[in-house]
Amino acid sequence: MTTRVIVLNGGSGSGSGKSGIARCLQQVLPDPWLAFSVDDFVDAMPARLRGSEAGITFAADGGVDVGEEFRALEAAWTRGIAAMARAGARVVVDDVFLGGPASRQRWERALAGLDVLWAGVRCDGEVAAGREIARGDRVPGMAASQARIVHEGMTYDVEVDTTRTESLDCARVIAAHVG
């Protein structure tokens, strides 16, 4: 089988470096790959769902809560990404598995039958927090709190750690596992 989808799971808030790795993967992989992040999905949602119990809320401590409308749209989004892969596109997904294995299971259902490479993107919480501050557009505390919890109960085909490793080097490690 040929890898159709690479799913990158790591903390949010510019802390883990998933977006940078996704861009680097697009450069180092020989075929063209589309890249989509959970941030693209959240940005595409109606503004009324941001800060709403039905949509998505961000707590002052960096916690994230999602409601029923968010979940319904998320299900459509994951099925849409899967449809692109089934139609022949190769896709890199940058996500944050706040629900641990349940988050992965949602993707597994949508991507059933496709060859998927599951990649864990780790980063030390303090380093991630520093990157979050430097970016300046995230809820303070989100990166540090998510650095660990998104990996609880998870297994991966490949793992990288961006604490001291550049995105390009991490992308090369992941690319070596693409079939």
SS3 5: strand
Q: Averaged over 137-165, what is the pLDDT?
A: 88
Known catalytic residues are: 39
Handedness of CA 174, 147, 116, 44 (dihedral sign): negative
DSSP 48: G
Structure tokens at 149: 């919890």
Strands (E), 18-132: 33-37, 56-58, 64-66, 90-95, 116-122
Neighbours of 175 (CB within 10 A): 19
Q: Averaged over 131-160, what is the pLDDT?
A: 84
pLDDT score, position 59: 85
**CA distances for 120 relative to 28, 134, 158, angstroms:** 18, 23, 6
- Residue 172 pLDDT greater than 80, yes or no: yes
Q: Averaged over 69-93, what is the pLDDT?
A: 98
pLDDT band at 58 (very low <50, low <70, confident <90, very high): confident
**CA distances for 45 relative to 113, 154, 172, angstroms:** 28, 28, 32
2 CB-side CA count, 13 A: 10
The tens digit of pLDDT for each residue in 127-141 reads: 888 877 777 666 677
pTM to 2 decimals? 0.93
Phi, psi of 91 (to 5 degrees): -135, 135
Q: Averaged over 44-72, what is the pLDDT?
A: 92
Pairing type for strands 64-66 and 56-58 reads antiparallel
pLDDT score, position 12: 78
Mean pLDDT for all residues in the chain: 93
pLDDT score, position 129: 82
